[in-house]
Chain A
Amino acid sequence: MSKNVTVRGVKFKIVPTVPDADHEELGLYQNLDGTQEIRWSEAPIAGATETWKSGIVCQIGTLDRNLPTTGGGSQEEYSGLSIVVANGNKLILRLKELGIIINGKTAELWEFEGTDADADSVSSVTYFQGTASYELNSTWDERLWNIEITNNRYRRNAFFGTMISNDAVSGNYPDASDDMNGKIVPATFGKFQIEADGRINPAKFLRVANKKTLLTNSANKAAGNYCTPEDQSVFPVVGNFCGYTTTGSNNITVWGGASFFTVGDHIKVYTGFPDGTDKEILSIGATSITVNGSAATSDGITIMDFLHALNAVDTSCRVYTIKTGLDKEGTFSWPPSTLDNSQGVFDTLVGKWFGCVSGGSSDNTSLSGKYKKIEHFCISDWSYAAGVCLVMIQLNSIFEKNLSGNSTATATNQAWVSLSDIPFKHANDIWPCAGFLDAAGTISPNIKKLYVYKSDSSFLEKKAYKTDGDGNLIMASSASPVGFKEIAPFGYNASGANGNTVVIDAMHFENDPDNLVSFDIFPVASLSEYNGAATLALWGFSSHNRLHSDNIYYNCAEPTVHFHSTAGTEADVRDKNDTTYWQHSYVFDNEAGVTVPDYKLAFEAIIDVAKITHEYDGYYIGLNLESHIGEAGDGFSNSPVTMAFRRFMGSPVDILSSSLGSKYLDEGQEADEGGKIRCLPDWFYDVRTDDNDRAFLFTPTEAAQMRLLSGYSCFPLSNISTIDQLKSIYKLGLLFSIYGASGVSSITAIFKIFEMALICKTTGSISEYFFSLCAGRIFNDTWSTRKTAADMIVNPVDFIEHFLRLQWGGDLGDVVEYGKAYSANMPIKTGADPTYDNGSFDSTILTDVKTFSPSWQVLNKEEAYTDVQIGNLCRTFDLCVYTDISGNICITTLDKTNPSETIAFADIKGKIGWTKEPQIKNVYVQPIFNYGYNYGSEKFDRLMGVQNVQAAVYSAEYTPGIDNTKYTLQAIYEPEISPPTTPDGEYVWNACRALYLKYGQIERCPSSFSDQKLLTKYEDTLKIFYKKIIGQTRLRQSLNVSYEKGRYYHPGKHAKIKLPHQTLNLSVEVVIERIKIGRYDDNIQLDVVLLEDIPTAFFFE
């Protein structure tokens, strides 16, 4: 047996290469593959596969590797390695003359083991790879040059964020507003879902396209055309197509619109620009417009599309004509021959926004600031002779009132409109994400749940008594009035890509499309005939309204009711079917001397307030009903419907009259006509024909004429703005009144109640961001067949590997962009781990930690570095990242792994250091965990903690936030007790109580311990919470071993120490926290953390 010779060396990779590089006297070598290296050995070596230059390196210093584990795992750190070089023969100057700068170069530390004649006959190992630095951190004089190796080669702090730039040429988000510049697109990791405890946990989607552009016609000038004025941006409404009826497949009768047209004028429609030819599709007659159907159809659009067919009678309008200035010089050729993308406003109107700037409707309702999206448009030339261009625009939905105007823009409340480009794009990442989630957590490519965050500074938590399942009276908190509020999918159309981008097409909104509006609609709990009192005094009517029979009250001479029958059932008013109804039919006879009939048919409804769990932005009553009145004689007047509600205290409040200023009157003059109230949207019904929510959105100005009352806002619940006020409502009254003039001998009344519901409105701005349930980043690569590229990254270990792969792009010259793409050459340690300590990312020692599923977002630049995120993951989940001697990036855990390596007493060199107990100030015996970070409130939603550890006996109130019906922890830590007997809260408290008895001091739990932004799930948090608690008391031990024993040790290495005193000769698992590898004194200094308690029973055997 002979003794091996060991020699160390340092190699610097010269990238980029320099000319004239082969200088053996300097240890500078050019390899056959063209690469260049400096190779210096501390002693002569022979027979190695590469030539090494000795006599330059004087000393390779102590390699100090540190992996602090206080508070959790971490990444390996380097305090620097010093290499002392003899600066003989003007070494530094000669290297500089060759253009070689060591600073920043990859440095490899090598160790050869072999014989004097064959240096690497046994092995040659690169035991550390770092980055050289001497210009900043080193010194040199005539004799010596001190080169510092300051960092691990693979530890690059890559920026993975994407900064938003709206630069028109180079910007990645040209439609972003200026204030978005410099912000980053969020990065989203893990599942954002409705958690098991009901907590809504959506991710934030930042608006990356929000630059509103006001369109003008100035672009036409550049195209050789002339508009007057050039920068015109506000246009008058000069016509509309409100109220028309179809009289045939090709004829449209314009109701109220004929005045906008001149008989004989023509309308030419351009669709699907550029078409190149104009089509005459309409001719205006005295009372009708004739349609050239074939021409329209050939353009790919039918006249019905353009002028939107409605029911036979309709007053709402979504087609307007606006007037633009044009061609005052007479050089303009109409129609323009090239209506293409250079034509300014005209060619880009589809998808743009039509906004009312001033004016409004003829009834003085201001519509200023309200927008609608342009669905189609055309240019009509019927007024070309007047030197103006009229653009006919079809909106995708109606305003709540019709815009008013006339051909000279002089109408009362003349509406002026603007044309705007309001782009929408929200993103939660640039890296492909798995998609969106529904309430059940199922992944979908399309957005399923969109939320806005509502905050209310006046929030006071409300508590109320209720009974539990055993009938005991308990205190319960009401739902918070602040928080995420869903915007139902009917409020928008959304499209996206890569699971990380959403383009919102706002459908329901208030004013501008940034403010989405959504409705929760709850059918009434019940509706019944009312006869609960002898008079209607309780509903605010005169006590002269007396009960006759059934639900009939009279305020006149008592009628004779010949007939009262019903059809359908009460259930029909809450079945979400607009074809079924509860009908009440009456026949009154006035022959008993009633000269002026005044009857009231009373119903009462009850709202299902239990379903209202949080505050809304508005409360309305939704109705779908019809009334038909017939009378046998002259003089019948009207049939108003009254709605009111009774509160527990105070007078009844009239609902219906508060909106329109007077009770709705059914002024039907003909027997088969009637009044209608329809203010429920299409989507509310399970069975309903789509009519674009016209009845829901539009509030007609001239209701009497159409005998239709619509618009959800018609019936606001007066004085009701909070959930408390809503819940004070006792009953809703629905009363149909029948008035008549004298001489009416007989009245037939039929009331059909189709639906009755409570409408709760939610509004929310998406101008800057919204929130959605979603699944974050995917692997996007198979990682050498280890993963499925399309799968979402779930567990902490995979997240760390994801960041590691992002932060290494290879040596200089690699084209992979750090932080944005993976390198194919990332040296990640993978594969089986038979020793439970080889650092593999696939090791079975990571099985437990891989059951955790964190979710979090990165929203600011400071956190958008791989280093920061890896550090956070390591700290939270007790993971350690280090590099092994082969240069592989490895991972391990602070959990016990049962390693095979043992450090025995005989391995110790010199004095064994202190066994250190934790400092009391760093032990938190009453710890707190804040988790469930809310990206809306930017605070934590959930807390678990431990209190009153001084108490002798546990009480459940000492562990807020911990479920004492479960026994998770004892099942894990004491599996021998089956079934477990100690609930989780008590188990945690017992551990803290033991700490208190041991350390006797209560320290403030700092945010560095308590704030857990990565944890969102209760189960994960509980397990981590307990691990952190017991991990606070880990002992630390310093010891030295020989170079032979520990030269290839590394931070994060698991081993067992077996020392007679410190561990009572028992094998106790440790993990190396710090290692100082010095060759010259044959001494490896280790700081280890004990992962097991040392039993103390030894002393009392």
Chain B
Amino acid sequence: MANILFKNLAEDHTVAVTMPNYGYSIEYHMPISKVKALDSSYPDAGFFDPPDENEPPVYGTFDYRLCKIPAWILPSDSKLAMNAFFDSPLYGRGLNCIMDLGNTSTGFFPFGLDKGDTGKFTVRLLESTDSGMRLSPYKRFVESYTFVLVSTDNVAPIFTEALQGDFQIGTCTGLLYPQAGFKPNSEKLIYNDISIAGVPDSIIGPAAAFSYISAFELLCNDSRAYTLLDGLINTVRSNDVTIIAPLFYYIFGYDKGTSGTYTCKLLGSTDDENETVIIMTHNGYQQWIIPLKFWRKS
């Protein structure tokens, strides 16, 4: 197994540790705010994607990526090296440092498929946790690490196009039907209650303001995961996105039909109203788990 090299910025001090196992995640943070209005909708004005200073503005300037390794199995000598590196104010303590994956494909995409699995990444260790010695695997320390990507020149490798299904988000076709199905959530502006004497009481809002959200978890190979992420962070962002669903998908529930073309807004992998976060977990070879939510606009 290849090693990861951590170097200080001057690259005159290096430690080498083994690659983390599958199960790590990439979090892609876009500072897109979303406001949920009283009528349960997400009107366009509620999505705000801050532009940069350029004219025309470039979006994504303020995005950032995290690499979260929840269970990095480190032998004691690696742990010693990691501590020596990240506890020293000369190397990695509060400082940017270099994560060097070498020149050979590693299969470890710390900051997403589009940044590749080789080369150097300037990162800062944000957080780490300690654990006691494990009996199994014996004398190993299973610890979590979170890195933020500061900069990199790496680019995506070439992925062979491999379609998995007939689901389409934006320009990304061939997505596999979510294996756990869709979890539609509609808000139909009805508030029902019962008085103390058992008398039902209801307030309803206009049907035109009904809101439909669908949550699902995609299982993608490298090719689909790359294409999907590329579309979401570079094109979709806070803009309208078209989702095309074949028959019997019912992505927004029965109300909105078995199939069709839906104009939607990306809500991301979380419910955060202040940013849009896309989480991609590298769960195995050619397996990326991507939870997503979309709000149906029309």
What residues make up the interface of A, taking CB atoms closer than 8 Å to B?
1-5, 115-116, 905-906, 911, 1059-1061, 1065
Contact = CB atoms under 8 A, between A and B. Distances in A.
Nearest to B274: A911
Contacts of A5: 89
B95 A1 contact: yes
B194 interface: no
B179 to A, nearest CB: 35
Nearest to A1059: B50
Nearest to A1064: B51
B89 A1060 contact: no
Interface in B122-171: none
Given A2-B90, A3-B89, A5-B89, A1060 B50 contact: yes
Nearest to B92: A3
A629 B9 CA distance: 123
A906 B53 CA distance: 12
Contact of A3 (B10, B51, B62, B93): B93
16 contacts: A1-B9, A1-B10, A1-B95, A2-B89, A2-B95, A3-B90, A3-B93, A3-B94, A3-B95, A5-B89, A905-B50, A911-B274, A1060-B50, A1060-B51, A1060-B62, A1065-B53
B48 interface: yes
Contacts, number: 30
Contacts of A4: 89
Contacts of B51: 1060, 1065
Contacts of A905: 50, 62
A924 B10 CA distance: 61
Contacts of B50: 905, 1059-1061
Say what secondary structure dominates the interface of chain B: loop
Interface string B46-57: 001011110000
A1079 to B, nearest CB: 14
A1 B90 CA distance: 7
Interface residues of B, number: 15
A3 B274 CA distance: 32
Say what secondary structure dominates the interface of chain A: loop
Contacts of A1060: 50-52, 62
Interface of B: 9-10, 33, 48, 50-53, 62, 89-90, 93-95, 274
Nearest to A1044: B94
A371 B48 CA distance: 87
A3 B125 CA distance: 13
Nearest to B10: A1
Contacts of B53: 1065
Contacts of A1: 9-10, 95
Contacts of B90: 2-3
A905 B94 CA distance: 21
A672 B8 CA distance: 125
B89 A115 contact: yes
A64 to B, nearest CB: 25
Contacts of B274: 911
A465 to B, nearest CB: 62
A120 to B, nearest CB: 15
Contacts of A1061: 33, 48, 50
Given A4-B89, A906-B62, A1060-B62, 20 more contacts: A1-B9, A1-B10, A1-B95, A2-B90, A2-B95, A3-B89, A3-B90, A3-B93, A3-B95, A5-B89, A115-B89, A116-B89, A905-B50, A911-B274, A1059-B50, A1060-B52, A1061-B33, A1061-B50, A1065-B51, A1065-B52
Contacts of A3: 89-90, 93-95
B210 to A, nearest CB: 29
B31 to A, nearest CB: 8
A115 B95 CA distance: 14
A846 B274 CA distance: 40
Nearest to A4: B89
A1065 B57 CA distance: 10
Nearest to B8: A1
A615 B258 CA distance: 97
B96 to A, nearest CB: 9
Contacts of A2: 89-90, 95
**Interchain residue pairs A-B with the least CB separation, the first 6:** A1060-B50, A3-B89, A3-B94, A2-B90, A3-B95, A2-B89
A78 B282 CA distance: 51
A558 B43 CA distance: 114
Nearest to A1: B9
Nearest to A1062: B50
Nearest to A2: B90
Nearest to B91: A2
Contacts of B94: 3
A715 to B, nearest CB: 87
Contacts of A1059: 50
A1065 B55 CA distance: 11
A571 B51 CA distance: 88
A47 to B, nearest CB: 14
A456 to B, nearest CB: 64
B158 to A, nearest CB: 33
A2 B93 CA distance: 9
Nearest to B275: A911
A897 to B, nearest CB: 23
A906 to B, nearest CB: 7
A3 B97 CA distance: 12
A115 B62 CA distance: 32
A368 B52 CA distance: 92
B113 to A, nearest CB: 26
A118 to B, nearest CB: 12
A1059 B94 CA distance: 26
Contacts of B62: 905-906, 1060
A203 to B, nearest CB: 57
* B10, B33, B48, B53 interface centre (most CB from chain A within 10 Å): B53
Nearest to B272: A911
Contacts of B93: 3
B150 to A, nearest CB: 12
Nearest to B53: A1065
Nearest to B64: A906
A339 B39 CA distance: 104
A2 B53 CA distance: 32
B295 to A, nearest CB: 20
A213 B126 CA distance: 85
B29 to A, nearest CB: 12
B137 to A, nearest CB: 33
Contacts of B33: 1061
Nearest to A6: B94
B266 to A, nearest CB: 19
A83 B143 CA distance: 34
Contacts of A115: 89
Nearest to A115: B89
Contacts of B9: 1
Contacts of A1065: 51-53
A911 B10 CA distance: 34
A1048 B62 CA distance: 25
B198 to A, nearest CB: 42
A814 to B, nearest CB: 43
A906 B89 CA distance: 24
B271 to A, nearest CB: 14
B130 to A, nearest CB: 20
A2 B90 CA distance: 4
A33 to B, nearest CB: 34
B36 to A, nearest CB: 15
A116 B53 CA distance: 40
B123 to A, nearest CB: 15
A1065 B52 CA distance: 8
A1 B88 CA distance: 12
B28 to A, nearest CB: 17
A226 B12 CA distance: 111
B185 to A, nearest CB: 25
A5 B50 CA distance: 35
A1041 to B, nearest CB: 15
A970 to B, nearest CB: 33
Nearest to B96: A1
